[in-house]
Amino acid sequence: MDSGRLLRGVLRLLGAVLILAACVLLGQMLSRRLRERRLFLRGCHQGLLALMREIDYAASPMRRALPAAAEPAGPAAQLFLRAAELLAGSPGCTAGEAWLKALDEQPALADEDRRLLSLLSEGLGLSDAASQLKALELLRQRLEAAETGAAEQMARYGKIWRSLGWSMGAILILLLL
């Protein structure tokens, strides 16, 4: 009889640990998504700056400018590289179309970020360097504002999600005991 009671106690403890772990991991995962969004936007910003340099100073065609922009892009490098692959592999495809296709292949991208980054496709590789640089500068400013907003959101809500994971786990354990 004592072994049955001991077994139930061990199973309750194990269940409580699993509930707490699941809630904490959920809070960490939601917090990490906010951090990854900020890092992705920062990478896009750095890649955009590199793309602007390639267009302005090196006068590189988009076929070479996009891979060069991927180098400093960090977490967003795959987006620039994929656009370059699509541009090189699809005759008749414009740089803007390749960019939009590469954006469509990014499933984890938030709708607001997708709309913002799709602005890069407008006139990319179709107009002269001065016009492209003006459009890219406007996008750079919008991206910088989005990055700042994502950093503020991460600072505010990241801690909340982590704390909420611990709190909800503790509350569920207390309710189930």
What was the pLDDT predicted at 76?
Answer: 87
| Percent of the chain whose predicted confidence (pLDDT) is above 70 | 98
**Confidence at residue 1, expressed as pLDDT on a 0 to 100 scale:** 56
Better-scored residue on pLDDT, 107 or 170 = 170
Average pLDDT, the chain: 86
Ranges of H-type helices in 54-177: 62-70, 77-89, 95-104, 111-118, 129-176
pLDDT at position 137 over 80: yes
Angle at 51 between CA 47 and CA 55, to 5 degrees: 175
Confidence at residue 66, expressed as pLDDT on a 0 to 100 scale: 86
Domain boundaries, the chain: 12-176
Helix (H, G, I), strand (E, B) or coil at 90: coil
Contacts of 39 (CB under 8 A, 6+ apart): 74, 75
Prediction pTM value: 0.80
Rounded distance, CA 42 to CA 79, Å?
13
Q: Hey, is 177 helix, strand or coil?
A: coil
Block residue for tokens 């006139």: 123
pLDDT, one tens digit per residue, over 80-122 is 889 888 888 878 788 888 888 888 888 778 888 888 888 887 7
Contact 76, 40 (CB under 8 A): yes
Residue 140 gets the label, from left (phi > 0), alpha (psi -120 to 50) or beta, of alpha
pLDDT of 60 above 80:
no
- For 3, the enclosing helix (H) or strand (E) is helix 2-53
